[in-house]
Amino acid sequence: MYAFNYHRPASIDEAISALSGASDGTVMSGGQTLLPTLKQRLASPSDVIDLGAIAALKGIREDGGAIVIGAGTCHAAVAGDATVRAKIPALAALAEGIGDPQVRNRGTIGGSVANNDPVADYPAGLLGLGATIKTTKREIAADDFFTGLFETALADDEIITEISFPVPQKAGYAKFPNPASRYAIVGVMAAQGPAGVRVAVTGASEGGVFRVAEMEAALGGNFSAEALAGIGVPEDNMNADIHASAAYRAHLVGVIAKRAVEAAG
Amino acid sequence: MPSVSMTVNGKAVSGEVEGRTLLVEFLRQNLSLTGTHVGCDTSQCGACVVHVNGESAKACTVLALQAEGAEVTTIEGMAQNGTLHPIQAAFKEHHGLQCGFCTPGMVMSAADLLQRNKNPDETEIRDWLEGNICRCTGYHNIVKAIHAAAQAMRG
C-alpha cells in the first residue's frame, strides 16, 4: 500500500470538507474493496476519508412504503434486520450472500453501490427494486445511477447518504456465485412492485448491471418462471473469463432469472 | 505520525502508526500479539480474524486507525486464567487442527457464530466458515469441534 493521509470525520459535513481539501482523495466506507485495491497498488489516493465513525450514515428505517437504509450500514445488519426480512426478504437474502461473514460485518451497502463492481450483488438489488440513491447533493434513481464498469453518476465531491427501496409486492434474488469469491458470475433480481416489473442482471455484462426489457414485458403479463421460457440475452458484451465464457453467462442469465422469479414466490 | 488507542483483550493500548498500517500489523508488531496470523493478506483465508466491537473481522483488511476507540479481542484474549475457552478446548479434544496456522482465525470466527447462533447445525457451521480456509484438516474435525463447543457452552 502506498502511504496516504487518513481522515476520520465525525460528520458528513466534515467528510465533504476533508474530501474537497484533498488533492486526490477517496472515500472509504467499510474498506472491504478499497483496502485490497490499495494493497495491490491499483490506486494511490493522497487521502483516505473514512466514513466509519459517522453515526448518521448507519441504520435502517421504514418510511411510508419504503425501506431506507443508511449508506454506512453493513451487509450483516441488512441481512439480519427484522424489517428488511419481513418487507423485502429478497434484499436480506442478497445481503446474506455477499462474501463471507467477516466481509459482511464490515462491508457496507453505500460502499458497494458507489464502487459499482460489475459482479457485485447490490447494483442488481437497487436496479431490480427501483431504488433511489440519496446523496449529499440530490436524489438519483437507480436507473440513472449505474453508468458503466465501476462508473456511477456520483460527482467527485458527492457522498451517498442513504438508499430507499420501495417495498415490492414480490421480489426474488438468485445468483450463481463464483465458488471462491462469492461474487456473482450471474445474479438476477426480479421484482414486481411500485416501480413496475423489473429484472436486473449483475455479473454478466462488461458494462455492469443491466435490465432485460423482454423479460420484464413477459413477467408483466404473467409473473412466473414459465413466462421466461425461450427468452435469452445476446452474448455480445458478456464477460468472459476462466470461470465462464460469454455464451455460458448468456445462458445463465435465463436460468438464474427463472430462479429469481421462483424465489419471489 | 498519527497515534491510535484501543482496548485489546481488555487492556487499554496505544501506539504510533501510519495511515496505511493494518490492524493485524499493529497487533503483531506493536503489541507482539502474534497469535493473529497473516495467511493470504487478501481477506480470503481468515487466519487473521479478530473481534472488533464484538464482531468478527479480518484484521488484514482493517486499518489500525479504523479501530480507534474499539474493543478488540484476539486469540490471546480467549483463555481465562489459564483455562482454555470452550472452543479452544473443543478444537484440542476433537483434533480440529493439524499445523495450527488457521486455528486462531477459526476459533475467533466460531466464537462470533456461537454468540449469534447457540445451536448451529452442520450446514450453518460450514456456511459460516466460508471465509476461513484450512489446508490440513479437510474441515471435518473443525466442524465437529465447533458443534461440541456449542454443546459445552449451552451447558
CATH code at position A4: 3.30.43.10
Q: Which domain holds residue B19?
A: 3-77
Q: Provide the phi-psi class of A69: left if phi over 0, else alpha when psi is between -120 and 50, else beta.
A: beta
For range A237-250, the mean pLDDT? 95
* Cβ-based neighbours of A157, under 8 Å, separated by 6 or more: A16, A19, A20
How many domains in chain A? 2
The string of pLDDT tens digits covering residues B7-60 is 999 999 999 999 999 999 999 999 999 999 999 999 999 999 999 999 999 999
ipTM: 0.96
The string of pLDDT tens digits covering residues A11-70 is 999 999 999 999 999 999 999 999 999 999 999 999 999 999 999 999 999 999 999 999
Selecting from A50, A76, A181 the residue whose C-beta is nearest the C-beta of B66 gives A50
Selecting from A6, A36, A180 the residue whose C-beta is nearest the C-beta of B2 gives A6
At A195 the pLDDT is 85
Average pLDDT value for chain A: 97
C-alpha cell at B60: 488484514
State how far the alpha carbon of B138 is from the alpha carbons of A145, B46, B100, B114, B142, in Å.
Answer: 44, 15, 13, 21, 8
Selecting from A1, A36, A53 the residue whose C-beta is nearest the C-beta of B20 gives A1
CA closest to A179 among chain B residues: B130
Task: List, as one string, the DSSP characters of B30-78.
Answer: IS--TTS--SSSSSSS-TTEEEETTEEEEGGGSBGGGGTT-EEE-GGGT
Query: What confidence category does residue B134 fall into, taking pLDDT thresholds of 50, 70 and 90?
Result: very high
A26, A35, A39, A102, best to mutate vs chain B, most B CBs in 10 Å: A102
At A265 the pLDDT is 84
B22, B36, B58, best to mutate vs chain A, most A CBs in 10 Å: B58
* Residue where a domain terminates, one of B77, B106, B138: B77
- In the sheet that holds A210-211, the strands lie side by side as A170-177, A184-193, A196-202, A210-211
At A262 the pLDDT is 98
Query: What confidence category does residue A179 fall into, taking pLDDT thresholds of 50, 70 and 90?
Result: confident
DSSP letter (8 states) at residue B26 = I
CB A154 within 8 A of CB A208: no
The string of pLDDT tens digits covering residues B72-122 is 999 999 999 999 999 999 999 999 999 999 999 999 999 999 999 999 999
Examine the pLDDT at B1 and tell me if it is beyond 90.
Answer: no
Pair B35, B54 in one domain: yes
Q: Does residue A119 lie in a domain region?
A: no
Pair B92, B72 in one domain: no
Q: Which domain holds residue A14?
A: 1-54
